Amino acid sequence: MENNSLVEKLALQVESFQEGFEILSKSFSLVEMVKNFLHLIRGNFITTEIYAFHKLKNDSNWNIISLKKISDPSYLSFLHDSTNPSIKYFEDDSIEVSITLPLSDQTFLGILIGPKLDKSKFTDLDKITLQILLQVFDSAYKSFLNQKKEKTLIFELNEKVLHLNNLIDTGIEISKFDKKRILYDIALERAISLTNASAAMIEITKISQDNIKKHITFPAGIDPDKILNSKFIIQSSFEHQDRKYNFILSEKETRHNTTAFNELDQLLLDSITRQVSASLENEYLHKQSLEKEKMEQELNVAASIQQRILPTELPKIESYDLSGINIPSKEVGGDYYNCVDLGNGKYALIIADVAGKGIGAALLVSTLDAALYSYLEFDIPLTEITFRLNKLIYKSSPSDKYITFFIAVLDSNSGELDIVNAGHNPIFLLRKNGALEKIDAGGVGLGMFDFEIPFEGQKSVLSTGDKLFLYTDGIPEAMNENEEEYSDEKMIKFLLDHSEKSSDEFIKSIVDDVKVYTGTTPQSDDITAMILKRN
């Protein structure tokens, strides 16, 4: 009877626990969250003496973070170290409860609770309530950290877009000047602005007489040796008419100190030196020619972004045969595929296609890849991951850009598949007996709408001898010289006729079949495909 009474009392508190989670998860900082949490504890146990502490690691000192100053320094002796959530109760007139809660960012929260105002002891119901409140705080803090990650992803995307816009402006501005000194000054100024360098220099050497050098610095008047002898420098050079032009940047500045340059800084400097080289070589060419060269450079940047995130090798899955391919078109496309090892025998298979091509598509693919890896680290349902991705892509992309997206999480031990198809082409599941199942879209493409409509998930099982075939529309929509498409029907027939081949052989064969069909017609879209067979 006593247990039933406890359950009934806890059931009445469920709504207050949910309200507490919502209040905590809306906090803007750890301090604010702790302050709200102390109000929850005080409201549940009617006590005035309550303190909160925080430390960065288990063997460091506790720092008080509650607004109320500790009334007696000796209270600190009640705090205890633990790498697991821990609650201790004391028969003491000053402190009755000591809590240590390891947080998901590897830091620790400590809480001390004094006696109740009515001097009553903590009951079994109180202890269970306190345990639940700690779980509520832990879940809210994880949600808070995930929200911070989402904001960081959006910030990084916006930063990349800003860099690219500045790079385009740089190319346009450099192309306006035919006086070399103005051209050099503008290039150096822009290089410093884009990379946060402290100083920049162009070292011009006559190739036939390498001892004859000229230095142009920015800011003007700075000693060239000071730049050359800096701790952190990056360089980029080109040759033109018996001269070598070496661009050097020194000392990347941060809020607190100087630091080494990163890969993006080098990419930006290389782009600027290429633009200067183009300006020197094409002073008398038509403006349209310069515009075309600049666009080709930007597409190369986009292609490098895209190719770096596509897998060079797919993981080996015991008792399964997996293979995939991405063949980009002449222009930069937005196809994406991957297989991510989630541990414990689980793997996420993903294929996606960004509407449109060019730098915007490549950046969206990069955003999708970064966000996926972030979300897949946590045990979040696929429908929730897709819902969050939709909001992120919607906020991060123009109105004409969206992503068709398919993801399936495979439990390799049981063959169970957890599936979401957001606006992508139907994915085919070919059974051992020849039956073909179609996995249609359970929602619109990512970034099309910012509706609160949840995405639909599906369940299936991959049995021995079954095959899962994923692709983008670059296969069925490939055209021959008569502008006739390869078609879904031809692709499905190929799957049925050649499904017994190994995964590697099947992928190579279907690509060859598409190329034979299109003949000499240029490839107009990326070709991406992946097949998984259970042996």
- Pair 463, 415: CB distance under 8 Å: yes
Give the model confidence (pLDDT) of 38-73 as tens digits: 888 888 888 878 999 999 888 888 998 876 778 788
534 CA to centre of own chain = 30
Compute the half-sphere exposure of residue 220: CA atoms within 13 Å on the CB side of its CA.
Answer: 5
Average pLDDT over residues 493-512: 96
Higher pLDDT, 334 or 165: 334
- Confidence at 131, pLDDT banded by 50, 70, 90: confident
Nearest to 100 by CA among 91, 113, 115: 113
pLDDT value for 76: 86
Share above pLDDT 70 across residues of the chain, in percent, rounded to a whole number: 85
pLDDT value for 263: 85
- Pair 195, 189: CB distance under 8 Å: no
pLDDT value for 518: 94
Give the model confidence (pLDDT) of 446-459 as tens digits: 988 887 778 889 99
Separation CA 404–CA 498 (nearest Å): 27
- Pair 459, 420: CB distance under 8 Å: no
- Pair 165, 363: CB distance under 8 Å: no
Higher pLDDT, 350 or 440: 350
Residue type, 199: A
Query: Global pTM?
Result: 0.48
Average pLDDT over residues 178-191: 79
Helix, strand, coil fractions of the chain, as percent rounded to 5:
40, 25, 35
Going along 224-357, which residue ranges are E strands?
233-240, 243-253, 258-259, 320-327, 335-343, 346-354
SS3 assignment, position 436 = strand
Please determine, for residue 1, whether its predicted confidence score (pLDDT) is greater than 50: no
Separation CA 55–CA 110 (nearest Å): 8
Going along 16-70, which residue ranges are E strands?
50-55, 63-64
Please determine, for residue 468, whether its predicted confidence score (pLDDT) is greater than 70: yes
Nearest to 507 by CA among 517, 520, 498: 498
Give the model confidence (pLDDT) of 92-116 as tens digits: 888 999 999 999 888 999 999 989 8
208 CA to centre of own chain = 49
Give the model confidence (pLDDT) of 297-351 as tens digits: 666 666 666 667 889 899 999 999 999 999 887 666 678 999 999 999 999 999 9
Of 15-19, 186-190, 282-286, the range with the highest mean pLDDT is: 186-190
Higher pLDDT, 353 or 147: 353
- Confidence at 2, pLDDT banded by 50, 70, 90: very low
Separation CA 392–CA 397 (nearest Å): 9
- Pair 303, 496: CB distance under 8 Å: no
pLDDT value for 174: 58
- Pair 153, 397: CB distance under 8 Å: no
Tokens of 357: 């091509």
